[in-house]
Amino acid sequence: MSKSYDNIIIGSGITGLTIAKLLNNKNEDYLIIDKNNSVGGKLSTENHLGYELDCGFQILLEDYPNLKIFPEIYNLESKRLSSGFITIKQENFYKILNPFKNIKGLSPANTFPGFTLKDKYLLLKLILLNKKYKNKKIPVKDFLKNFGFSHTFIKNFFVSFFQGVFLSKGLNVPLKYFLFIFSLFSKSNVSIPINGIGQIAKNIASLLDSSKIIFNKEIINIGINSIKTKDGDNFNFKNLYCTDPKIEKLINKELNQEFFKDITYNGTQCFYFISDMVDINEDFIYLFPDSNNITNIYFKKASQNKLLVSVSSLSMEVSKNTIEKEILSYFSSMKNIRFLNSYKIPDALPSNPKFFNFQEKSFYKYNNNIYFAGDYLSSPCLDGAIQSGINLVESLRK
């Protein structure tokens, strides 16, 4: 049996939910089809042995401009982090406060080896004047060097901090995007939903008609105006919105442009452990600039006497045993550490510069009635995923 809809959205991640919300606001007919069993896409959380584990450690920058279309997100119970970080250098930990949000950050004691007074001055200058430089066409590392930052500070702060954001030690993103994210971290509140990052998508979806979202439905073929699923269902559409470039492989040969065949990604692994409670600061993310295995660690109190340890790595090969050994080398007082689970995400963030803010539209009209949208055509973050959906729906009015 065949069913017909004006608008079909493939994928219930943030872009798909954005498109659905905006179509719903216009009283437009739509259906979301997702191969998974819940909403969220890359914003997903799994309950494992009673612990809420994000499938890849993520934080929420509360001042993302496009979050304004989802005010319900701010109703989530969240843990707000302190603005700054803790880093390890020469076997010592240093707590660094953001001077733009905490006056104590101006103290001479707010430093680590290699963080000079000149670097502090330049950091404040960049925070205040970053918009002045956003249109420069220069690699990020070259820009920071030309700006006057020391090589040591670039490595120990900019690379160490932002490799966990861009999933790349090379900081290989357009300068405009780097400055956008840098400015947000310097001024925005940063939080983590108490029950996991997946709560963001669930909260958004709760305000949509649940009958218009179909889960566990795998698509195997896309024609000029129809979809066929693995279980034999057929869906007809006037417009189709694809939120993942991999969907292109399902499009009929005569329609297929192989437009996304060269798309690449940056990946990450996230490891979770549980241990006995130790004296750890839960308000900051810990950075490890000299480690080849660990990008950052976040600690969360799991119960009265247990600590949940989230470890992120850019290595797709490193083992849980290697990670555990390295954790204990930094935190020798940690006792009864036990591995919970790990998540390997090879396609965590799109990394193709040619697709950033694609054609200054952030979406792609594939043909007369098939569209592609998502962070891979905008900027690789939550705000970019939303922006792509907004731009696509707004284009339909023209």
- Integer CA distances (angstroms), 88 to 290, 300, 329, in order: 8, 19, 12
- Say if 56 falls within a structural domain: no
99 and 147 within one domain: yes
More confident residue, 303 or 323: 323
| Residue matched to tokens 């994928």 | 11
Same domain, 108 and 214: no
pLDDT one-digit tens code per residue, 216-248? 999 999 999 999 999 999 999 999 999 999 999
More confident call, 208 vs 304: 208
Clarify whether residues 202 and 92 are in a common domain: no
Residue 24 lies in a domain: yes
Residue-wise pLDDT for 95-112, tens only, equals 999 988 888 888 888 999
Does 88 lie in the same domain as 184? yes
- What is the average per-residue pLDDT within 256-276? 96
Asked, for residue 156, whether it belongs to a domain, the answer is yes
Q: Please check whether residue 50 lies inside any domain of the structure.
A: no
Count of domains in the chain?
Answer: 2
Domain stops at, among 158, 188, 218: 188
End-of-domain residue from the set 162, 188, 214: 188
**What's the average model confidence in pLDDT over 272-280?**
92
Last residue of a domain, one of 188, 213, 241: 188
CB 180 within 8 A of CB 134: yes
Task: Check pLDDT > 90 for residue 28.
Answer: yes
Q: Is residue 170 part of a domain?
A: yes
| 91 and 184 housed in the same domain | yes
Average pLDDT value for residue range 190-203: 96
Q: State the pLDDT at residue 1.
A: 61
- Domain annotation covers residue 372: yes
The range of the structural domain enclosing residue 255 comes to 2-44+197-263+353-395
b/e sequence 120-136, b meaning 16+ C-beta within 10 Å: bebbeebbeebeebeee
Q: Does residue 166 sit in the same domain as residue 225? A: no
pLDDT-based confidence at residue 195 (cuts at 50, 70, 90): very high
Give the Cβ contact number of residue 145 at 10 Å: 14
